[in-house]
Structure 1
Amino acid sequence: MRDFGSSADPAVQAQLDRLAALSVPQGRLGLDTIRALLARLGDPHLALPPVFHVAGTNGKGSTCAFLRAMLEAQGLRVHATTSPHLVRYNERIRIAGSLIADARLAALLCEVLDAGEDLRPSFFEVTIAAAFTAFARLAADACVIEVGLGGRFDATNVVPRPAACGIAALGIDHERFLLAPEEGTPTLPLARIAFEKAGIAKPGSPLVTQAYPGEAAEEVERAAQRTGAVLAMRGRHWQAGADDDALRYSDEAGSLDLPLPALPGPHQPENAALAVAMLRHQGAVPVSPEAMAQGIRAATWPARLQRLAAGPLAGEREVWLDGGHNPSAGAILARHFAGRRLHLVLGMIEGKDPAALTGPLQGSIASLTAVPVPGHDHHPAEAFGARARAARDVPAALDALPADGLPVLVAGSLYLAGEVLRLNGERPD
């Protein structure tokens, strides 16, 4: 997998080339390497502003976007680290509201890579060490940190007592890593996913979650009891629901009527509600209902049910972009496009379920074009069924579609989504 990216800045590119050479030793699990690397950098993770730590299968990135927007609407300075990047590596590290500048990024990556050369850290471990080092050196009021993969062994899982931990929607994804047989872990797939995600629970910290099916909910409860985290689960400790006019939220402190998100998709009120619940169940950083409302309206999150602007790639056509690649994402897309026909342009990394999106969307698909995922092994057209045809890239796929007024959905991979944004001139900032 080649997710390290490229940069027009030679100094940044030199460090990205070093990152590209990193790999995780086969079978290595645990937090020992990231802890050792951080120790050499002065343990920056112990000097962070209040941390909001978010895991989940789907929705964790959007929840982070809502959190950041709400905190910033309160007038606070917020650091954030999310993954993956779409167009530029800089997107992974946001310092006090702005993407990290090239000069600072190059120096920081060089410092971290030099410090850990003999530790054989992974790409993601270096990234998180760099982010935490940057965050500890520049004052801010809060940090928003997105889990990369899973939770229990994720490199972000070293902050001793976050202001709040959150778990978004759960689903089956990254089976090779998260469902690998391990003694003492749950055997039911969704329960095992919940076990891994709930590994971010910390003593004394709120663990704020969505509602889950029985076996998954039980694993989250066990994690809270085991660690001494303060559980706040939807349906038990807080409630939320959306109608045509508002997002209705309530907990033991009272009720709020909040605006619906500007972010499209029937799932976004769920993610906004989780962000509200995380802020309401912590005491480190006061955020007013007015700031929550403003943040819900202001939050943006590229490549998640994003309608492309008129541009070099999309032209004037209605083109939607989504990086989803698992059945849960497919269900969300099916809800969004219910009752509409669409042209699906699909690129999926090899190893992902080819039917994850086509199954839920089958009643809406007018045509299906398979495209490569740049820089990655990917499914060929025949993996998506007899109706699928192949195109060499997204521009060729769009050029071959009839001018019939139907919307186009480009989906299946965030790596593909990043290339689409680049081609359409919509670089995240």
Structure 2
Amino acid sequence: MPHTLSEWLDYQQQTHPNSIELGLGRVREVWQRMGRPRPAAEVITVGGTNGKGSTVALLDAMLRTSGQRVGTYTSPHLIRYNERIRIDGREVGDAELVAAFERIEHARAGLPLTYFEFGTLAALDLLARAGLDVAVLEVGLGGRLDAINIVDADIAVVTTVDLDHMDWLGADRDSIGREKAGIARAGRPLLIGDHQPPQGLLQAAAEAGAEVWRIDLDFGARPLDDGWRWWFGTDHVLDLPSPALLAPVQRDNAATAIAALRVRDQARPQSPPWLVPAALARALASVRIQARLQPVDMGEPGPQLYLDVAHNPQAAASLADWLVRRGAAPVQAVYGALADKDVGGVIAALDARIDHWHLIGLDGVTPRGLPAIALAEALHRSAPQAGYSIYPDLAAALAGARAAAARREDELLLALGSFHVASQVLELFPDDG
């Protein structure tokens, strides 16, 4: 049996023939053998194409501001596997994870589990043992057949729906929306943060009997000169400072998170202590998430580098919106992608804002990685006039981008795409904050 965390993670890669295998049968069977641990007294499950991680972090901050004990489960991680499970803001330790994996191994008795299923069961086990008030769980892929969905959510959130993971979820937004609606439960709230939710999502939510609350109809965010205004029905309006997270779309994520907690607390005769501007302002200011428009300190004077995991067209469009609003000068972009992503859609969304593309291959990092030459071919198809260079690795691409940006004082560096790009950037330039 493995002993260290790294040994366990290597072992988990071998217990199932596929890295992704949607379905609840295996993971539910092992969960039941473990005693069906419920991760907390209340469970909020967050799904969606983009914005899941940010919304989980915002919910965590708001709940902890009110004095509640909160645990979170997110994926993937960037540097340490431990990032995936946090209890009261603290990453769980190696020893805790190893103990959880040992319990899972005993319970599964040879039943094959994927890497993600192992991690999900470990999260449920460790959060349950922590005696939490609330657990906030991020869906890994889709919703209906994601391992997280063995737990019935008291509140479900779907942030956005767009084309991603189409090999598993379907070829259009309606199909993908139906999969994401699978986390909703009859008679329980489902918060939707998508401005134009697909009919498949709405129909599936209605069929499930969920109590649906939609951005723009039931709650929302309006920009102000010095912040933004959150509204909920006709009874609640709060003027708030902008989130510390930079992208304009983070206001929508924050509005959806606040609405989810307002729905949770609506039966209370008085507003809960967290639902006051000062408390929410503290929560919004406290949230920092790596690789979401994260400014990176490269250790010496020069153009600013921002890191973002924009890996699908919707996320790329949000990134382009931030660049437009920022009034950015030409941008030097370092880009690497996975082969199963809509690379053309990402490029099309951003190309008007990019001065030069600095391309790297990820085929040497992960079996799903796209080689640099294939990325260049995709770039040429989507943006035939775009300038680009190919590099053997991330460090060389960053050096090339920095040299190109040095020709102008106002240029910006941007590293984007896969989480593998983000993790390499953060390994080169650790975030000590």
Q: Do these two structures clear the TM 0.5 threshold for a shared fold by scoring above it?
A: yes
Q: What is aligned with 1:186?
A: none
Residue 26 of structure 1 deviates from its aligned partner by 9.5
Which residue does the alignment assign to 1:332? 318
What do the CA deviations read for 1:105-164 (whole angstroms, capped 9, x no partner)? 12212221332242211111111100000011111221111000001101111222x231
Letter paired with 1:256: L
Check if 1:258 corresponds to 2:246.
no
Q: Could you report, residue by residue, the CA deviation over 1:325-347 in whole angstroms, capped at 9, with x for unpaired residues? A: 11111111111112421101100
Deviation of residue 65 (structure 1)? Answer: 0.9
Aligned length in residues? 406
Aligned counterparts of 2:16 and 2:319: Cα–Cα separation in 1: 34
Contact (CA 8 Å) 2:161, 2:194: kept in 1 or not? no
- CA offset at residue 368 of structure 1? 0.9
1:347 alignment counterpart? 336
How far does the alpha carbon of each residue in 1:376-410 deviate from its partner, in whole angstroms, 9 at most, with x for none?
A: 22142422226322111121112223222311111
> Equivalent residues in 2 for 1:126-137 (5 A)?
126-137=118-129
Amino acid at match of 1:62: S
Amino acid at match of 1:241: R
Q: Which amino acid aligns with 1:277?
A: A
Equivalent position to 1:268, from 250, 266, 281: 250
Partner of 2:104: helix, strand, or coil? helix
Comparing 361-370 and 410-419, the one that deviates more: 361-370
Contact 1:421 1:427 in 2 (8 A): no
1:11-410 correspondence runs (5 A): 11-23=4-16, 29-45=22-38, 48-160=40-152, 162-179=153-170, 189-213=172-196, 216=198, 218-252=199-233, 253-283=235-265, 286=272, 287-289=274-276, 290-311=278-299, 316-338=302-324, 339=327, 340-373=329-362, 375-376=365-366, 377-381=369-373, 382-383=376-377, 384-385=379-380, 387-400=387-400, 401-402=403-404, 403-404=406-407, 405=409, 406-410=411-415
Please give the alpha-carbon distance, in whole angstroms, between the structure 2 residues aligned to 1:171 and 1:336: 19
How far 1:281 moved relative to its partner? 0.8
Q: What one-letter code is carried by the residue in structure 2 that aligns with 1:71?
A: L
Matched, 1:411 2:416: yes
Shift of 1:316: 4.3
Q: Deviations over 1:343-379 (max 9, x none)?
A: 0110001122222332122122221111123522214
- For residues 82 and 255 of structure 2, what CA distance do their matches in structure 1 show? 28
Aligned-pair CA distance for 1:30: 2.4
Give the alignment's Cα RMSD to 1 decimal: 2.2
2:55–2:253: 8 Å Cα contact kept in structure 1?
yes
- Which is worse superposed, 371-380 or 327-336? 371-380
Cα drift, residue 212 of structure 1? 4.1
Measured after TM superposition, the shift of residue 51 of structure 1 is 1.1
Equivalent residues of 1:325, 1:356 under 8 A apart = no
Which stretch shifts more, 315-324 or 66-75? 315-324
Tell me which of the two structures has the higher relative contact order, counting C-alpha pairs closer than 8 angstroms and 6 or more residues apart.
1
Q: CA deviation at 1:207?
A: 0.4
Q: Deviations 1:224-281 (Å, cap 9, x if unpaired)?
A: 3222221111122223222232221222342111221011111111111111111111
Cα offset for 1:211?
3.9
Provide closer, same or farther for how the CA distance between residues 427 and 353 of structure 1 changes in structure 2, counting only shifts above 3 A.
Answer: farther
Partner SS state of residue 352, structure 2: coil
| 1:267-318 C-alpha deviation (Å, 9 max, x unpaired) | 111111111111111139954324323211111111011110243xx76431
* Residues 220 and 256, structure 2, Cα contact 8 Å, conserved in 1: no
> Hey, what's the Cα distance between the residues in 2 that align with 1:16 and 1:192?
33
The whole-number CA distance in structure 2 between the counterparts of 1:417 and 1:81 is: 19
Distance 1:153 1:72, change over 3 A: same
